[in-house]
Amino acid sequence: MNAAIRAVVRTGLEYGIEVYGIRQGYLGLLNGDFHKLTSFEVSGILQRGGTILQTARTDEFKTPLGQKKGLRRLNEKGIEGLIIIGGDGSLRGGLALHKMEFPVVGVPGSIDNDLDGTNMSIGVDTALNTILDSLDRIRDTASSHTRAFVIEVMGRNCGYLAIMTAILGGAEVVSTPERELSMQDIASALADAYERGKSHAIAVIAEGVSYETTDLVNYLRNQSEVGFDIRLTLLGHIQRGGSPTAFDRLLATRMGVKAFEALREGQSGVMVALDGRDLTLIPIEKAIAKSREINPSYFELARILSR
């Protein structure tokens, strides 16, 4: 996200337009926490995870009154357009401002990759690389001790991170909200890996499945055919931090520039999206209407490669 902020500020400078950052998202908007961003302030932030502007979850902006108050703050400060970097909730707020005729352009930022209409959101690639790094380390213990690891990954209601982790990390089995496996199916997959003589097995479970991974592990431990000793790792917020990958820096930089230009050209109610190699603009409404679907061929790929 910092790379996107930097890109917005420096594109503004290019056009001679002042850019203000709002601290802590909609909370800062409601509190009038605006702060002029100079080139100097966005210098040296490309490699930093998180966001220099910070963020917050706030319910007040979800209400019509909160949204009106936000609009009032923008007008008080003489702001002419807003670029919102974030996921579903952030974009929903942006859409509300757009509907009140305030110019808004969105930039997709979420590790979940659940925004529809864009191939990738900012942060997904970095999170995936972090997960794979952790998985590779965990596998060392798994192989040395002939263990099976259940690894829970984030993603809210979307299984993108989980299915990619399974394919790229070489998991034996994966369960996601889109293709949820029963505990029994997971036990069978691990038992199969054991019978085939594998030194370890990895089960990747998306956080959005209907059962708790702790319950799954208890279940697996009671299935004698599983063979492996079972361990559970919840990767948690490790997945959200860290220095962005080259892919994410480039994506965020390009999206930041594109968002600024779109706003300058008078666009509103749109989100920057990655379509193949190109950046396009899609209605925010479309991006948040439903969770992005996972290409079904990835599930087949994960199954074939897990043998």
Binding to ligand F6P (CB under 6 A) within 159-178 occurs at none
Residue 180 makes CB contacts below 8 A (sequence gap 6+) with 209, 210
Segment interacting with ligand F6P (CB under 6 A) among 62-70, 108-116, 196-204, 227-235:
108-116
Q: How far is the CB of 260 from ligand F6P (least distance, A)?
A: 25
Up-side HSE of residue 291: CA atoms within 13 Å toward CB? 16
Distance CA 88, CA 190 (A): 35
Residues 194-213, interacting with ligand F6P (CB under 6 A): 207
What distance in Å separates the CA atoms of residue 64 and residue 51, rounded to the nearest whole number?
27
242 DSSP 8-state letter: S
CA distance 187 to 43: 51
What is the smallest separation between the CB atom of 159 and ligand F6P, expressed in angstroms? 11
What residue has token string 């199969």? 192
Minimum distance between the CB of residue 251 and ligand F6P, rounded to whole angstroms?
A: 17
Convert residues 49-88 into a mask of x (bound to ligand F6P by CB under 6 A) and - (unbound): --------------------------------------x-
Which is closer to ligand F6P, CB of 122 or CB of 154? 154
Q: Which residue has the tokens 């029994």?
A: 184
Least separation in angstroms between CB 56 and ligand F6P: 10
**Three-class secondary structure of residue 84 per DSSP:** strand
- Does 109 contact ligand F6P by CB under 6 A? no
Element (DSSP H or E) covering residue 232: strand 229-234
> According to the binding rule CB under 6 A, does residue 91 interact with ligand F6P?
no
Burial pattern 44-80, b for ≥16 Cβ within 10 A else e, equals ebbebeebebebeebeebeeeebbebbbebbeeeebe
Nearer to ligand F6P, 44 or 236 (CB): 236
298: number of Cβ within 10 Å = 19
Least distance between ligand F6P and beta carbon 128 (Å): 12
Asked if 155 interacts with ligand F6P (CB under 6 A), we say: yes
Asked whether position 156 contacts ligand F6P by CB under 6 A, the answer is yes
Is 125 an interacting residue with respect to ligand F6P (CB under 6 A)? no
Residue 86: closest CA among 272, 260, 290, 238: 272
By DSSP bridging, strand 278-283 and strand 270-275 are antiparallel
For residue 112, indicate whether it is catalytic: yes
Residue nearest to ligand F6P (CB): 154
Among candidate residues 169, 206, 207, 175, the one with its CA nearest the CA of residue 188: 175
Catalytic residue among 33, 59, 88, 112: 112
Q: Per CB under 6 A, does 240 bind ligand F6P?
A: yes
Among 84, 142, 151, 154, binds ligand F6P (CB under 6 A): 154
Determine if 93 is a binding residue for ligand F6P (CB under 6 A).
Answer: no
Site membership for ligand F6P, residue 48 (CB under 6 A):
no
**What is the C-alpha separation between 113 and 191, in angstroms, rounded?**
32
CB of residue 287 to ligand F6P, shortest distance in Å = 14
- Contact set for ligand F6P, span 255-294 (CB under 6 A): none
Positions touching ligand F6P (CB under 6 A) are 87, 110-112, 154-156, 207, 240
Known catalytic residues are 112
